[in-house]
Amino acid sequence: GQSLEQPSEVTAVEGAIVQINCTYQTSGFYGLSWYQQHDGGAPTFLSYNGLDGLEETGRFSSFLSRSDSYGYLLLQELQMKDSASYFCAVRDNTNAGKSTFGDGTTLTVKP
Amino acid sequence: DSGVTQTPKHLITATGQRVTLRCSPRSGDLSVYWYQQSLDQGLQFLIHYYNGEERAKGNILERFSAQQFPDLHSELNLSSLELGDSALYFCASGPSISTDTQYFGPGTRLTVL
């Protein structure tokens, strides 16, 4: 099975950098994805790491280390609109259609 | 706008009733996933269909069922509803049988009274 752990809440100020960690226990997975969800809205895809290392997309970067069973999402130059929930997710490589999401991290950006 | 549509947006019903939630995937996407999100909870995977066939199941209750039709839209049927079924139900679509990028619809908020 798959389980992912994320901090439940993170608070930071505008302009700062914040890192949201995701540790996982899996029986096998393809890669680590990250999604953003604003309150009451639909999750939107942010980033994917299929290989170890850093992936950068604008202000957002994501990192994966399979040997450490660990990944993170890095948000730079925080803006108020970044206040949202962030979910890490994996897709089971023994059952490709099955995705498991973490419980999410609520990021609050303060002025 | 992800291109995924879900209807209805809101649904209020009583315990014991049956409802049907509908999802139309993005044009060209063959995979449809269903998720349940209870208040302040994560996304619980329910079921995955690809090109009309069931491909993966999560912790979906026996009272719940789904199907994907030839035109690729999908329906999630929830029966014998209980108070605890109140949640946001999302569908997501993807282009292939195995995709790490899923495009989510706006969700259906189900309230069971």
DSSP string, A51-101: SSEEEEETTEEEEEETTTTEEEEEE-S--GGG-EEEEEEEEETTSTT-EEE
How is residue B3 annotated by DSSP? Answer: S
With 80 as the cut, is the pLDDT of residue A1 above it? no
Decide: helix, strand or coil at residue A32.
strand
State residue B95's pLDDT score.
84
Closest CA–CA distance from residue A65 to any residue of chain B (Å): 17
Q: Are the C-beta atoms of A72 and A62 separated by less than 8 Å?
A: yes
Decide: helix, strand or coil at residue A8.
coil
B88 → chain A, closest CA residue: A40
State residue A96's pLDDT score.
65
pLDDT digits (tens, 9 = 90+) for A57-77: 899 999 999 999 999 999 999
Interface mutation vs chain B, best among A98, A103, A106, most B CBs within 10 Å? A98
pLDDT digits (tens, 9 = 90+) for A84-102: 999 999 887 777 678 889 9
Q: Which of B90, B97, B105 sits opposite A97 (nearest CB)?
A: B97
Contact A42 B107 (CB under 8 A): yes
State residue B48's pLDDT score.
93
What long-range pairs does B36-40 form, CB within 8 A, spacing at least 24?
Answer: B36/B87, B36/B88, B36/B89, B36/B90, B37/B87, B37/B88, B37/B89, B37/B90, B37/B107, B38/B84, B38/B86, B38/B87, B38/B88, B39/B87
State residue A95's pLDDT score.
73
**Higher pLDDT pick, B40 / A47:** A47
With 70 as the cut, is the pLDDT of residue A41 above it? yes
B89 → chain A, closest CA residue: A42
pLDDT in tens, chain B (113 residues): 889 999 999 999 999 999 999 999 999 999 999 999 998 778 999 999 999 999 989 989 999 999 999 999 999 999 999 999 999 999 999 987 777 789 999 999 999 99
Contact B56 A91 (CB under 8 A): no
